[in-house]
Amino acid sequence: SEWQVQNLGCADLIDIATEPGTTNRNFGAWEGATTDKIKFLRHPNNPEYYCYDANGTYVGFGSGNGLTSNYLQQNEDYYSEYVEDYLNRAVRWLLDRTKADGLRLDAVKHITPDFFGATFGEDRDRSNYGYLGQAQEQFNLTRGYSDWNNHRDTVFDTELPRDDAMMFGEHLGAPPSVGDYLNAGMRLLDNDLRHHLNSQLGNPWGTLAGMDAPGSHGFAPGSSVMHAQSHDSEYAARRELQHALYLTRGGIGIIYSDGNHKAGILKGSGGAFPRHANTNFLGQWGDVRIPNLLYFHEHFARGYQVGRWSDSDVVIYERMDKRDAPGMSDGAGTVGLIMMNDNYSSGQARGFTTGFPAVGGTEDDAYLYNYSSYGGGFYKYASQLNQVVIPAGGYFLFSLRSPEASDLWERIGGHPLTILQDGNATGTVSVRRTDGPDGDPGFNPYGVPDANLTDFSYDWEIPRVTSGSNLTFVVRADGSAENVLLKLDGGMDLNGNGQRDHAPATSTDVYNGYEQMTFVGRQGPEKFAARDTARNQIGSAGAETYSWNASDGSLATTNGSTGAASFPDDTAHWVYHDPEQFNDRGERQFNASGDSAVIWLKVGYRLQINRARLYYSTNGSNPEGAGGSGRGATGVVALSYSHSDSQEATIDWWKATVSLPASGAFKYKIGVCRDQSNGTSLASVFPKNAPSVDLKKQMLTTFEIGGFNAETIQYRPHSDWGAQSTGLKEGFHFVRGRAFLSRLGQAPIYNTFSRTFYLDLKRPEGEIVFPAADGEELFGSEYGFVVRTDPSVVEVLFHVQDTDPTNDDGQTGALNGNGLSGEGNASAWIVAEEVVSRQPMGATYPKEWKFRYRNVPSGGGNATVRIALREASSSTDLSLDETSGHFKILERTVRTSGPSHRLFVTWPQRDEEKVGKDYVMKTYLSSSLVAGKSDSQVLANLSIRIDASVVQEPPYSSAVAQDLTGAWVEREVSPGLTALAYRLPILRNPEGAPDDFHQSLVVDYKDEIAGVDLRTVRTVRTDFISYGPVNPVLKVNGVNADYTTTHLFADEVAVTSEKLEVVLETPHVITAQVYTNLNRRDHASADANGDGIEDGIQPPDRDSISMANNNGYFQVHAMAFDPTRGEAGAWVCEINATKTGAYRLTARFKLQDDADVWHWYTADGRRDHAVVVTPSVALSAVMYELNPLSVDATGDDFASRSTFESLHDGNRWNLDYLTGMGANWLWFQPIHPRGEQGRETVNGQPYDPGSPYAVK
């Protein structure tokens, strides 16, 4: 019932009394019992968790709010809370501290809707009542928003400028109904829509009818959050189409992903939890559909939805955005067209009316581009959309073609968004992008060079800014870009006009945070010179390249490919340069004199161009450039007009003087273009047809913002009206250039060029926490260092230099960071472990690292511990000085008063090393401690414990002692050192453990007689996972296999058999086999392992049997996984019983993320299953029981009893009598005499058989 859903404990959770009011509606000895709720001061020692003083004045959260523990206790009545009040305060603290933009609320229907907010009344939208009302109030206070009259408008309308926290909840269906949860101020996950699509998509009898209407078969766009999968359910029929619908229709669409970190099976949940997404959200495995949909979603799925067509297979709708000018026409407001086909066997076309202008043969016929990853990019006029065949099981996404990258710049490796530092291009830093461990081993969605194709990662070069006081951002787009806006991170005053051009709460997402850039220029196609004008190229890529050699003054030319006189109306018809030929005045076209040269260029025809540029290099690289800017080491010199040709006045000569290098080669190319028409800048080109699209791509539009000071900029880091900061933080930043078509009075059409850059103004910083000061004395054999760093640090390494050379890594073989590494004179540097920091949010040094100084020498000498802090741009060569290597070295000097004896782990060689199956751990001990002792005496002093608990800290009370029966001693493995060796058990991480989980190997050596008590600890990792008790379920022909019997029948003469079905249900299994001797009776006398005992009596080791070694008395049979069997699939094997006999059967399996070992069904007390195969004739047997000893007996002693021979008397015994009764089998009771009379004797005594199976 609704009451039970809202008031009973959910999934065995305790009742936390969230219902409003003073009464707990379900607490007591029976369901429905009530009690008074309690209230009390819940955080008496944490005044930073409160935000009001006792007078109700808002003072804010945090340690600076002026509240104290004493103040809270003095005003206990004011600060005492019911559960719901505490939760309201908790969500306010969360939003204030994290600056989160919203919340997803799980299982909301298990809490009454009035807990969340006001559900009725005219003032409900502005009310701060309830969990959501309080959250929205805090959102305003923390983020500086002033919409106190409505806390919900931008929750339910994403097309408005946002000034509320986005809130949505999970509600999986009535009871209770969804209405009041929506009324409380939240959106809901649209399970109605998802269930409908799961029943219709891919169903031959399903239909998409009505799906073109906004909100059809689900919630209205203002209430809906649409999803194909979730952590509770991974199933999605035609998932690719569901993603396309959710990311393009009205409402909010989301993508569920586990980041390719796949969880294990959660008992009782029906599978893995969270569910495996298997979603290629970053383009894994070459599947670009989701990135493609997200691009369309960001740029075109805006405004409101207009239905155009729907039927059983096809749905078509458009998005219309009239927010810039509500009075615009539909043709002006239509921004996106979505066409989808659920017929997976054939493409489909439909006749429909589009909102795009569609008057064929006129200028009023929109030239549309397919943005979908289906079918490749192609164009269609709006009037031709009825001819478009939507691909089988796919979709098309149409809109006008937005501005693109210019071919002139992109084809020479230029990025549309460039960052200049003091006028020069920045350097770069390489960062690694990595998929999850269960993802794509060859993850590389952009296809960049990658040396390792199976490491789930690729390296990506991004700009590195090392001086932030004078930055210039340049956006280069094609000729269709009319305007370009720029956004850095969440938005700030980039252009220095004293304000944010498009501020939060006043701007839609199209413009929010973007700043106006300055128009630099727009040029037409840039044509490059050649000795043969048939080789004139548009763009420098592949253009003719000239070279002058400083050593001998020789000239050379690398010919370009044939280019033809393209775009004659938009640039020069042809451009000619031959350095070895002459101009019309008799001067060489490359005329070197001393350290310079005059270069001449011939252009046809007059007034077609107004710019000529020479791109050159002097370092041997090929010069490349566009629009007067060089790429890489390319320099640029402008040519100037000189004169008209003396023979042909319509031909012009241009020239430039260049400086020549003293050595090497001077390479150059020459390009010409036009960037003005009648004295004004060229107009942008609207992509209205194929020629205009071709032209715009060969043009170059440039916008820039210069003089930006990243070190002093004042901005609001959370893109709001809240807290301000000065100077960008070190690390990664994100800049976006948004280029718009010319669409005055119409809905904007734009493209966004994005780029990550790394701000690296200083070296990383940090502090040594423990030991706290120089000079601290270390008494143990080990000491744990703790270091905290700024967020930019990606790696911490340490090196110890002390007075004892015998503990150097090169001497001990361990990787402890001590002294010399053993590789020449190189110092030993070892990586420290990053641990979960307990620093408060906003701390200067929020990252925390730890390592252990091992083998601390005795004697009170000094040791210097050097700690290197590396960031993404730091060198790995720590022999460099700090400035050259761009790292930070911290130092701590300590006194070493360790014990005179040593104990340390050598293998594993370092903390956090991975160990696998059969790993031999070796701990080194001072040989003086074992002198005169036997190996057993030494091992008696040794203990090894393994701690796999959540908190692994001294004294390691949760560590489990190991059985050291198999340990051994290796004496004098190194001068003065003895190894204590032990084969580790298979280490497995607890299920659900984080990726950085480790286990601690705690080694103690205690010799009470010698007064020695030493300990060393090594942390290790493993890839193996423990799923706890597996509890497999094995069934044979439907019967539980544990110590039970299956009876079958076979006729070996007629060659008939019966089937045996074996079914195994066990989570996490990756392979399974049946192990049995069924049908193998003829091999019982074999001795496969040569132990001298027949295999029927003593079989070989069962783990030795495999598919490759499968011809003995016992065999294995492969099982196949059937996802339709059992609760979550089962492993199945069928075997035919062909030979009679008594056999046994069990199963074995291997687990996911486990060592390569077999787990047996018969573990944990379970026993084999018996299989008895009887001759088929037994099915028709009618038995007559006969006792030969009594059939003709005259007494009870041996002499008077009858015998088997007595049956020979035809007068007394007649088989015909038995067959007449229908008997066809005789069952003889014992034919041997009972007792001792008549038995043969052995050594003078009657033979005792010992077993009825061995009677003689």
Q: What is the DSSP string of 982-1047?
A: EEPPPP-EETT--TT--EEEEEEEEETTTTEEEEEEEEEE-S-EE-S----EEEETTEE-TT-EEE
Q: Does residue 932 register a pLDDT over 60?
A: yes
Per-chain mean pLDDT for the chain: 93
pLDDT at residue 1230 in the model: 67
Are 653 and 645 in contact, with CB atoms under 8 Å apart? yes
Q: Does residue 262 register a pLDDT over 90?
A: no
Q: Does residue 228 register a pLDDT over 70?
A: yes
Domain match, 985 and 918 both: yes
* 229 closest CA partner among 287, 291, 188, 276: 276
Domain match, 965 and 1100 both: no
Q: Give the count of alpha carbons within 13 A of 266, CB side only.
A: 11
pLDDT at residue 1215 in the model: 76
Helix, strand, coil percentages in the chain from 3-state DSSP, rounded to 5: 15, 35, 55
User: Which residues have a Cβ under 8 Å from the Cβ of 229 and sit 6 or more positions away?
Assistant: 235, 236, 239, 256, 275, 277, 279
Cα-based distances in Å from 682 to 402, 523, 742: 18, 7, 13
Average pLDDT over residues 778-802: 95
Q: Does residue 1254 register a pLDDT over 50?
A: no
DSSP state of 358: B
Q: Does residue 1256 register a pLDDT over 50?
A: no
Q: Whole-angstrom Cα distance, residue 385 to residue 348?
A: 12
pLDDT at residue 26 in the model: 86
Label the pairing between strands 424-425 and 417-421. Answer: antiparallel
Label the pairing between strands 545-549 and 224-227. Answer: unpaired
Domain match, 373 and 294 both: yes
pLDDT at residue 1253 in the model: 41
Q: Whole-angstrom Cα distance, residue 685 to residue 525?
A: 12
What CATH code is carried by the domain that includes residue 612? Answer: 2.60.40.10
pLDDT at residue 175 in the model: 94
* Structure confidence at residue 1216 as a pLDDT band (50, 70, 90): confident
Domain boundary among 1026, 1051, 1086: 1026
Q: Which domain holds residue 259?
A: 190-400
Least confident of 290-304, 744-758, 1005-1019: 1005-1019
Percent of the chain with pLDDT over 90: 82
* Structure confidence at residue 856 as a pLDDT band (50, 70, 90): very high
Kindly report the backbone phi and psi dihedral angles of residue 76, in degrees, each rounded to the nearest multiple of 5, phi listed first: -60, -40
Average pLDDT over residues 848-856: 94
Residue 947 forms part of a structural domain: yes
Are 126 and 191 in contact, with CB atoms under 8 Å apart? no
1094-1125 pLDDT, tens per residue? Answer: 999 999 999 999 999 999 999 999 999 998 88
Least confident of 388-392, 514-518, 825-829, 976-980: 825-829
Q: Whole-angstrom Cα distance, residue 577 to residue 854?
A: 72
Domain match, 630 and 572 both: yes
Domain match, 175 and 256 both: no
Residue 1221 forms part of a structural domain: yes
Domain boundary among 148, 170, 187: 187
Residue 203 forms part of a structural domain: yes
pLDDT at residue 1229 in the model: 75
* Structure confidence at residue 1197 as a pLDDT band (50, 70, 90): confident
pLDDT at residue 1251 in the model: 46
Q: Does residue 839 register a pLDDT over 90?
A: no
Using DSSP, how many helices (H) and how many strands (E) does the chain show? 18, 79
Q: How far is CA 846 from the centre of its chain?
A: 23
User: Is 105 or 1216 the better-scoring residue by pLDDT?
Assistant: 105
974-1010 pLDDT, tens per residue? Answer: 889 999 999 999 999 987 788 789 999 999 999 999 9
Domain match, 1047 and 1010 both: no
Residue 393 forms part of a structural domain: yes
What CATH code is carried by the domain that includes residue 730? Answer: 2.60.40
Q: Does residue 203 register a pLDDT over 60?
A: yes
Q: 995: burial class by Cβ within 10 Å (0-12, 13-18, 19+)?
A: exposed
Average pLDDT over residues 501-508: 97
Are 670 and 557 in contact, with CB atoms under 8 Å apart? no
pLDDT at residue 1237 in the model: 60
Residue 429 forms part of a structural domain: no
Please name the amino acid found at residue 366.
A
Residue 57 forms part of a structural domain: no
Domain match, 1143 and 1192 both: no
Domain match, 531 and 614 both: yes
Cα-based distances in Å from 21 to 9, 132, 334, 1113: 18, 17, 50, 74
Count of domains observed in the chain = 8
Label the pairing between strands 750-759 and 457-465. Answer: parallel
Residue 20 forms part of a structural domain: yes
Residue 281 forms part of a structural domain: yes
Domain match, 317 and 396 both: yes
Domain match, 396 and 327 both: yes
Are 815 and 828 in contact, with CB atoms under 8 Å apart? yes
Domain match, 1050 and 995 both: no
Kindly report the backbone phi and psi dihedral angles of residue 356, in degrees, each rounded to the nearest multiple of 5, phi listed first: -65, 150
pLDDT at residue 1211 in the model: 60
Average pLDDT over residues 207-214: 97
541-575 pLDDT, tens per residue? Answer: 999 999 999 999 999 999 998 876 588 889 999 99
Helix spans in 1091-1243 (H): 1215-1220
Are 609 and 572 in contact, with CB atoms under 8 Å apart? yes
Domain match, 971 and 1073 both: no
Percent of the chain with pLDDT over 70: 97
| Sign, Cα dihedral of 423, 473, 744, 372 | positive
Domain boundary among 990, 1008, 1026: 1026
